[in-house]
Amino acid sequence: MGGIIFVGQRKSLCGDYLPPCGGYLPVRRLPPPVRRLPPAVAVTSRCGGYLPPCGGYLPPCGGYLPPCGGYLPVRRLPPPVRRLPPAVAVTSRVWRLPPPVWRLPPVVAVTSPRGGYLPPWRLPPPVRWLPPPVRLLPPPVRWLPAPGPQWRDGAALDGRAVSGAKCIIPLSGTKQNAGISKGDCIFSLCCNYGHREEDIFFLPSSSCSFLTKPRIRPGQGKVKLAVLQNYAFSVAALELSSADLQNPRKNKEHHTQEMGLKRLIVPRCQVFIIILNFNQSFQPQINNITYMAETGSEPTELLGTRATFSVTQAQHGNVWSASDFTIDLNSLRVSVFTPANAVIGPYTLMIQIYQGQGHSMTYLVGTFILLFNPWSAEDDVYLPSEILLQEYIMMDYGFVYKGRKRFITAWPWNYGQFEDDVIDICLEILNKSLYFLKNPSKDHSQWNDVVYVCRVVSAIINSIDDNGVLQGNWGQDYGVSPLEWNGSVAILRRWSAQGGQPVQYGQCRVFAAVMCAVMRCLGVPARIVSNFRSVHNMDGTLTIDTYCDQNAEMLPTQRPDKIWDFHIWNECWMIRKDLPPGYNGWQVLDPTPQQTSSGLFCCGPASVKAIREGEVHLAYDPPFVYAEVNADEVIWLLGDGQAQESIGKEISTKTIGSEEHQNITSSYRYPEGSPEERSVFMKASRSMLGQTRASSPFLDLLGSSGVENQPAQLHPHLARTPQWGQDLLLTLCAWRVPDRAHPQGPIRLVLRFCAQLHGRGTQEPLWRQEVCLNLDFGQETQWLLLLPYNNYRNRLTDEKLIRVSGIAQVEETGRSMLVLKDISLEPPHLSTEVSKRAEVGKALRVRIGLTNNQMEPLSNCIMVLERSGLIHGQISKSLETLMAGHTLEIQLDLYPIKAGPRQLQVLISSNKVKEIKGYRDIFVTAARAS
C-alpha cells in the first residue's frame, strides 16, 4: 500500500485520512454494503460541522474533507440543514456506534473514507482549528510508493527515545505488528502482540515535535520496526489562516481615505503593514516565506511588474522589501515598502511558504492599488508644499474659467476623484489606450513613468484615435451639449457603463476637467489653466492672419489657423528626468484633439519653463504650446495695406483657497513688448521656421516697435452688463492725440460698425451702424451704440459670443484704424441657499431660485444637482416652463455622505440657454455620537 502526502493533510498507509485540525481515525474494517447518508443529515458533533450526503465532513472553519481524500473549499450545499445532538460522534456511513459514546471536544473535526467513529478515549491536547480560509490543493495528487522496509530484529523498546520523525508503523508485510500507545504520550511506541491489524490506529499531534519515553507493558518483548528512509512523517506544515491589510487605518495615513476604507490604496515609496495569521507559531529560523507582488496581465521581474522579496530586519534601499516584523503567537506583523519607481496600478500580494523537500504552498494575502506619491521626495511627482498638495491633489472640486480677457467667469466643476469607483475607471482608461492594446506587457511596465502615463491619458481622453472617453463637437448638433456637464464623475461612469465607448460631447473645458480628475486620482498634482485669446497655429509661422474689409466685416480665410476666445488645458507637476536640468515643475498637457504628437492626438508634457524661454526643441510639443500663448494675430485692412497687431492674452488658473482666478501669464512669457519677450520670440521663430523664414521683413516688423502712432484713440466699453435676452448697450470713447501725419487741428472720423458671431465671419452680420465724429485736442467724445436683442435672439451659438468690430477712417489723411470688442453674454442668474448647519446623515435643506429676466419664456427646463460627498451620483428633475419676468423657487433635502468642505453644483438647462449654473460652498460636520 502506498502513502499520500498533502500540504497540511496526511494519509496513513492503509488509506485512512488524518485531518489537519487534529483527531485520530480508527482503522476498523466496516462490513459492506456501503450506504450513503440521506440528504437531510446535516450538522453533527459539538464542533458544528456539516456532514454532506456524499460521506465527507465539513468542519466549521470552512474546509471540506471528502471521503476520497483531499481538501476542498466550501461549496453551497442544498438545504435542509438539521442539527444533531452534540454528543453524537461523527461518522460518514450509517453504522450503529457501540457504547460508550464520548463527547467530542468543541473543535475536533474527524472523518474516515471508510466511515468509522471516534474511539472512547480522551483526545490528547491541543486540538487545532482548520486554518481559514481553506485553499484548494493544487492537482495532481500523487501517491508515493512505499519503499521496502528495513527490519531491525530484536530492537527492544526499553525506554530509549526513538526518532518519531523517522518511524512509521508497518501495517503490512509482517505478522508481528507494532501498535501505538493509548497513553498520554504522543509518538510513543510499544509492543502490542495481542491486537489485530484492524485495531491499529494513529494518534497525531499538532504541537509535539519530540519524543517521550515509550511506555512498556508487562509481557511485551521485542518488536520489529520498519524505518522509511525516503519520507519523514512530521508535524503539520505552516499554513496561512488569514491576512489583514489594515485598510481603514492605512488609507487615512496614505491620504486615500476619501477613496473608501474597504480596500488598500497606497502611494508608492511608502510603507504599509500587513498581519499574517498562521495555523501555528511562526518561527523565522525554520519557516521560510517569500513575498510576491504582481501587477499587469503577464507580470515579470524583467519588466518590473513582478517583485519577489523576503523579510529582512530593516529596509534597504529603494526596492521592494518586507521588514520590521514582529511575532505574536501565531501572527506575523510585517512592514512592506514599495519603491519610488514602482509601476502604479492594481497589485496582487502573495506569500510562498516553503515546506521542505521541494514542496511549497502559495497563498493570496490580498490586493491593493499603488499610486504616485506627491508627498515623497523620492517620487517624480513630489510637490514640497502641503498647501499646494491640498489644492492640487485633495481638492475634489474647483472652477473652470471661461469668457474673455476682461470678463472672466468661473464655471464650477465636480472632479470627484475620490468617488469609490473612479480609481477603477481611471485604471480601465489606461487599459484601453492604443499602447496597451498593442503590447500590454510593455505598456504596463511603463506605468512607473509619470511622463509616459500623462501622454497616455492625454491621448485617451479624446476619441480621435481610439475609443477614448469623450467625443468632441464644436458645432450645434448635440446629443448632450458640452455646456450641460457638471463634473467628471458622470462622464467617467457613462464611459465605463457604455463599455468604453466615447461619451457625447466635449469641448476643451470638458476634456481638461476630466483629465484633471484622472491625474489627481492617480496621485499626480494637476490643475486647469485657461488661456484667453488662444492661438491654434497650424502652419507654425507664429502669426495668425485675419482680414477685414472697409465695412468692418471679418472675411473668411482658407488657412486652418484659429483664434479661440479662450482655450483650456492642464498642468501637471513632475520632475523631468528626460530634459536638461532646470525644466522641472509645471508641465502643459492638452487632451483636446487639435494636433498630433508622435502619431496620436495628444499634447505634452511640455515644460512651462521651456515655453517661457523659447526652448521649443525640447520634448514634448513646446512649439505648439508656445504658439498658443505667443503667436501674434495680424489683422489686414483691405485697401489700406497696413498690419495691425492685436495681442491681448491672459493665462489664468484657480487661486489657492479661493474661487478667484490667478493670472499666471508671467510663467509662460515675458511682458509684452519687453526686450526679453521679443528676444525669446525671435529665438523660437528661428527654431520653428528656420533661419531663412525667420528673417522675413514682417517678422522683423513684429520684433520692433515700429507701429505708427494713430491720430485718435478709440475705446468701446459696455455701458451695462451684457445679459442674454436683452439689448446690448456700448459706449464708444474717442479723443484726439497728436501724430506725425496730422500733428495739429481737428479731424473727422467715419466709423462703420458691425457685429458678428465670434469665429463665424462667413455669416451675415448681426448688426451694422455708421457714426461720424469730429475730434479736437483736449476733447473726449462719447457715443452710444445699441445692438437690439431681436437682431441676435435666434442666431447665437451656445457660447453666446459676439464680436463688435469697427473701421474708423480719417477723412483728412485717408488712413484707417481698427476697433474691436468681444462680448460674452451672461445667462440668467441662479441663486442657491442652504440651511446653516450641515451634518453627515442629517437632512440639509436646499433652496434654489431662478428669475427669467428675458423677454420670452424658458421651456424644457431640466435641473441637475451634483456633488461628491453630498449626493450619490446626480439628482435630475424636470421643471415647469418659466415665463418671462417670473421666478422659479425649488426646495429639497439632501443627506450629506462625507464630512469636510463640499460644493453643491446646480445646472438648469432650457430650450434657449444650455448653461444656467450656480453653486454653494458647504462645510459638512461629522455625525454626532448618539
Q: What is the dihedral of CA 336, 342, 347, 353, to 10 degrees?
A: -50
Distance CA 731, CA 716 (A): 6
Is 717 an active-site residue? no
Q: Residue 318's CB: how many other CB atoms inside 10 A?
A: 14
DSSP code for 224: -
Nearest to 608 by CA among 632, 589, 631: 589
Which residues of 513-609 form beta strands (DSSP E)? Answer: 526-536, 543-548, 554-555, 562-574, 585-589, 596-597, 600-601, 606-607
- Picking from 89, 147, 82, 154, the residue whose alpha carbon sits closest to that of residue 116 is 89
Residue 896 in contact with residue 841, Cβ under 8 Å? yes
CA 540 to CA 188: how far, in whole Å? 92
Per this entry, what is the length of the chain?
A: 930
Choose the catalytic residue: 254, 567, 661, 758: 567
How many Cβ atoms sit within 10 Å of the Cβ of residue 431? 16
Measured in degrees and rounded to the nearest 5, phi and psi for residue 884 equal -60, 130
Please choose, from the candidates 75, 76, 58, 72, the residue with its C-alpha nearest in 3D space to the C-alpha of residue 137: 72
Neighbours of 609 (CB within 10 A): 19
* Whole-angstrom distance, CA of residue 879 vs CA of residue 852: 13
C-alpha–C-alpha distance, residues 193 and 179, integer Å: 8
- Is 297 strand, coil or helix? coil
Query: Which ranges of 222-375 does DSSP label H, i.e. alpha helix?
Result: 247-253
Rounded distance, CA 50 to CA 664, Å? 71
Separation of alpha carbons 559 and 556, rounded Å: 9
**Which H or E element spans position 386?**
helix 386-389
Q: Rounded distance, CA 800 to CA 723, Å?
A: 10
How many CB atoms are located within 10 Å of the residue 786 CB? Answer: 12
What is the C-alpha separation between 312 and 185, in angstroms, rounded?
38
Using CA atoms, how far apart are residues 270 and 288, in angstroms rounded to an integer? 25
End-to-end Cα, the chain, rounded Å: 68
Task: Indicate which residue of 443, 561, 590, 822 is catalytic.
Answer: 590
Phi and psi angles of residue 289, each rounded to the nearest 5 degrees, phi first = -125, 135
**Catalytic pick among 21, 61, 185, 508:** 508
Nearest to 587, CA basis, from 567, 602, 573, 577: 573
C-alpha to C-alpha distances, 380 to 265, 372, 576, 585, nearest whole angstrom: 19, 8, 8, 10
Instruction: Examine the residue annotation and report whether 590 is marked as an active-site residue of this protein.
Output: yes
> Per the omega criterion (within 30 degrees of 0), is the bond before 133 cis?
yes
Cβ-proximal residues to 716 (8 Å cutoff; 6+ apart), any chain: 730, 731, 732, 733, 785, 804, 806, 819, 821
Handedness of CA 191, 194, 196, 199 (dihedral sign): negative
Q: Is 565 a catalytic residue?
A: no
Could you tell me if 111 and 16 are in contact, meaning their C-beta atoms sit under 8 angstroms apart? Answer: no
CA angle, residues 424, 455, 416, in degrees to nearest 5: 35
Supply the DSSP symbol for 393. I
Q: What are phi and psi of 411, to 5 degrees?
A: -110, 105
Q: Identify whether the C-beta of residue 324 lies closer than 8 Å to the C-beta of residue 334.
A: yes
Virtual torsion, Cα 623, 624, 626, 630, nearest 10 deg: 120
In the numeric block, which cell numbers belong to residue 90? 461523527
- Distance CA(610)–CA(591), nearest Å, equals 20
Beta bridge partners of 712: 736
What is the set of active-site residues? 508, 567, 590
